Structure 1
Amino acid sequence: MSTWLFDLGNTRLKFAPLDGDGRIGAVQGTAHVEGGFDPEWLEQLPARIDVAIVASVASPALRMILLDALAARGAQVQLAYTLPTLDGLTIAYADPSRLGVDRFLALLSAHADGAPALVVGVGTALTVDLIDGGGRHLGGRIAPSPTLMREALHRRVAQLAPSGGAYAEFADDTDDALVSGCEGAALGLIERSLLAATARIGTRPRLLLHGGGGDALRNRVPDAQWRADLVLHGLARWHRASAGIASPEG
């Protein structure tokens, strides 16, 4: 049986095969292009998929493009969703639907190690979530990512470039100052969250960094563990642990 995992975010689609032992194969990805996907991405999929496990935080229209492509390959699609508790993880939100499934899956993967963790995702948004060693989610934060900050500034002030520049603690050029300020804001939030997390649980948690924008930050975040495919690994755990659980629709 051919089983594939799909992580549809606000900027990129990542996907990988899942073998019978729950191991993820080679991860591939494609960016959104004008409301769809790069036409060549379909060539990276087999002609037949039996089961597709999908996590989506993208627009309904973009999700339907993906689902139609999977249906054309005969896939039985399972949409992942946030649960109040699963596989030893218990979330802090009273209403599970308010916690994005990408955050939930990242936490689910982080809890597999059985140690406290501060999970930082850097995509369109920057998210920070804390779990203790027992799998209890203690809440989190959401902020604009550095990329979104740059884009927002450019929309309001056209002469401020939406990209470019080199990071410096005290920059002497506008482009450098922009990247330094926006990335510095993210770094400051992460550092403050680490301090607060350590005070909350009495020990310094592991810092797990993931997401497309995380690569630019990881060399400046002390002790960060880079987990590029944290959501996909969480999706694999969701698939295994949620078998037999009825979906919200049924």
Structure 2
Amino acid sequence: MSTWLFDLGNTRLKCAPLIEGRIGEVIALSHREGDLANVLDRALPARIEVAHVASVAGEALRVALLQALAQRARRISLARTQAAFGALRIAYAQPHKLGVDRFLAMLAAHARTGDAVLLCGVGTALTIDLIDASGCHLGGRIAPSPTLMREALHARAPQLAERGGDYTDFAADTEDALASGCEGAALALIQASREVAQQRLGRPAQLLLHGGGVEELTARLPGAQQAHALVLEGLAIWAAVDSMA
């Protein structure tokens, strides 16, 4: 019997075993791979003791995951955003409106650094959150990620490719122009947030990126660091307290 962590996003399901308080090998599964129960049958042991779940996906997909887990887990625990957790204090007056993925990522980021962090999640959405050195969340921003920008453009204008192209300052073909424009919009928002964060704090904040779309952006953001499984890291911290409740 074992304990597993599950991060159900709008695009992928990430899961990993929790081994002596640490995250084991992370498995990333696309929603497009088919029925979640069949996908989990290939990825998980037949029985697990506890499943700790963080979900920002739609209700139908969340229910499908919980039903699949109910067939193999003795206990399922669903993480929720809290106004305060340890040193972390959320800026939202209504904490339930802050996505649990952002909450858990901030929890992990502060635990990692113990310092001021500008945290950027790059998945379906681009999320940006600022945390000061004491763990106080100073607020954030949400925008479409470069991937979602491309998908939205393609949906409205099918002749515009959904994928492909390379970033360049001034592109000489449409695919490169699309890649450059969508990645450039995300980079500009991050850089502007970085400058405002420095003004707010009086010094630079560490820039930390996580999520499936960080590779293309990190190289163009000097000093940025990557942490791909940050939500699962935060879920592991949350689970340690939940298990003692």
For Structure 1 versus Structure 2, the TM-score category normalised by the shorter chain is over 0.9
Deviation at residue 37 of structure 1 after TM alignment: 3.7
Alignment match, 1:26: 25
Alignment match, 1:161: 161
- TM-score (structure 2 length as normaliser): 0.96
Q: Could you tell me how far apart the structure 1 residues matched to 2:26 and 2:165 are?
A: 30
Alignment match, 1:108: 107
- TM-score (structure 1 length as normaliser): 0.94
Q: Could you tell me how far apart the structure 2 residues matched to 1:38 and 1:177 are?
A: 40
Deviation per CA, 1:124-169: give whole Å up to 9, x if none: 1000000000000000000000011111111111211111111111
Deviation at residue 91 of structure 1 after TM alignment: 0.5
Alignment match, 1:81: 80
Alignment match, 1:201: 201
Unmatched 5+ residue regions in structure 2? Answer: none
Q: Could you tell me how far apart the structure 2 residues matched to 1:35 and 1:195 are?
A: 43
Q: Which amino acid aligns with 2:103?
A: F
8 A Cα contact 2:52 2:76, kept in partner: yes
Would you say 1:119 and 2:100 are equivalent positions? no
Alignment match, 1:248: none
Would you say 1:234 and 2:196 are equivalent positions? no
Alignment match, 1:217: 217
The share of aligned pairs that are identical, in percent, is 60
8 A Cα contact 2:150 2:163, kept in partner: yes
Q: Which amino acid aligns with 1:79?
A: L
Q: Could you tell me how far apart the structure 2 residues matched to 1:157 and 1:66 are?
A: 34
8 A Cα contact 2:51 2:73, kept in partner: no
User: Residues 88 and 42 (structure 1 numbering): CA distance in 2 closer, same or farther, change over 3 Å?
Assistant: same
Deviation at residue 74 of structure 1 after TM alignment: 3.2
Q: Could you tell me how far apart the structure 2 residues matched to 1:85 and 1:243 are?
A: 18
| Equivalent position SS for 1:77 | strand
| Equivalent position SS for 1:232 | helix
The total of aligned residue pairs comes to 244
Alignment match, 1:148: 148
Deviation at residue 69 of structure 1 after TM alignment: 1.5
RMSD of aligned residue pairs (Cα, Å): 1.5
Alignment match, 2:59: 60
Q: Could you tell me how far apart the structure 2 residues matched to 1:31 and 1:144 are?
A: 19
Q: Which amino acid aligns with 1:43?
A: R
Deviation at residue 35 of structure 1 after TM alignment: 7.0
